[in-house]
Amino acid sequence: MNKNIVVIAVLAILVVISAVQAFQLVQLKTDMSAGKISLGTNSKSTSVSTGNSIATELNDVNNLPQMVGGC
């Protein structure tokens, strides 16, 4: 098979895929603006850090060996 034909075929496939994605993106934007699709809410609670875990992590970093791996 000719090398140019393969390159043209691959480029054609990529153009078709990008056109399909562009159409889907426009459709999604239209649906969101029409109110058919809404963003979900996150009902998980978040915890507030007291800073103790940061101090513990810094101590762990200080306990690492001086040289890890290398030549």
- Mean of per-residue pLDDT scores for the chain: 79
- pLDDT the model gives residue 35: 85
> For residue 59, which of 71, 67, 49, 51 has the smallest C-alpha distance?
51
pTM assigned to the model:
0.50
Q: What's the rounded mean pLDDT across residues 39-59?
A: 59
Looking at residue 46, what DSSP letter applies? -
